[in-house]
Amino acid sequence: MTAPDWLTKRGGDLKVGSDGETWYVLFGQRPLYSLAAVPVAGKHGCIIRQTNSGKRIETAASAPSRDEAILTGLSDLGRALGWI
């Protein structure tokens, strides 16, 4: 999975965690947000957390696959930050 343009234009990057399932949004090599796909009513949703505080960023979307749920979560994060 590659980082979206709205993230890379601001110096951010995307990296999968050591568990192979959690994705991190990095700035200056520091993880600021984590995204994890979770089961939701036969589909997948995404939990987005700010890593330094544990605060959740709301997202209500669901997707048919884990990867699509992460991509949807990234879009929701970009909107929450006012970057898309």
Alpha-helical runs (H) found in 1-84: 5-8, 66-80
Q: b or e along 16-47 (b: 16 or more beta carbons within 10 Å of the residue's beta carbon)? A: eeeeeebbbbbeeeebebbbbbeeeeeebbbe
Condensed to tens digits (0 to 9), the pLDDT of residues 25-65 reads: 999 999 999 999 999 989 999 999 999 999 999 887 889 99
Please tell me whether the overall predicted TM-score, pTM, comes out greater than 0.85 for this model.
yes
- 28 Rama class: left (phi>0) / alpha (psi -120 to 50) / beta: left
Identify whether the C-beta of residue 61 lies closer than 8 Å to the C-beta of residue 76.
yes
Name the domain count of the chain.
1
Among candidates 44, 1, 43, 7, which has minimal Cα distance to 20? 1
Where in the sequence is the domain holding 22, given as residue range(s)?
Answer: 5-80
